[in-house]
Amino acid sequence: MDTNDTDPTSSRTAAGDTPEHENARQNVIAVDADDDPEGPVNRLDAHTGDGVRHRAFTTLVFDGDDNLLLAQRAPDKRLWDTHWDGTVASHPVEGQTQLEATRERLEEELGVTPDQYDDLRVTDKFEYKRYYFEDGLEWEVCSVLQCTLEDRTLDPDESEVAGVMWVPYERLHEHPKWYRQLRLCPWFEIAMRRDFADD
């Protein structure tokens, strides 16, 4: 997941990363199991070693026909590069709500502006922990947000998004073998499974 919170005072360099990796200059919000904040933590520290539980979100963007917009993570992402996400995922910064953070990332990553939707809402929250080979991990309390686009116009940022694809949401869930060529991000798979479990 991604965030734009920059902390120029941090200078950690992790093994296997390029010197002064971008993530080492950013913070995320450490949280307890109830999503209560415990203060900022270096983003690279939160995603390496044993990790640090932190606040995050994933957002599912639909059209009027219940198609879901999948976005492929750019190939230079440190974790889950080129995997397909639904639709954006990131970390809010201190003082920022999940709704504010989502609006920001939708516009920055996909060129989707608030006038294209009016129903952005939080629909779920869960904790998960997943490792990505030897490169790092995600340990997050992840809020799920959803919205419906009235205007499907997109302008993806290639540094963030390698590709986009509209897929029928129910069919994606019910027939995973049909989409097995798509490597899905774990937080999105969890969010989708929980969404249909509530039906």
Options 22, 140, 160, 189, the catalytic residue: 140
CB 154 within 8 Å of CB 112: yes
The span from the CA of 22 to the CA of 2, in Å, is 11
Cis peptide before 87 (omega within 30 of 0): yes
- Which two tokens mark 182? 């798509």
CA distances from 52 to 7, 39, 145, 166 (A): 17, 11, 23, 33
Specify whether 127 is catalytic: no
Which three-class secondary structure state does DSSP give residue 175? coil
Catalytic residues: 140
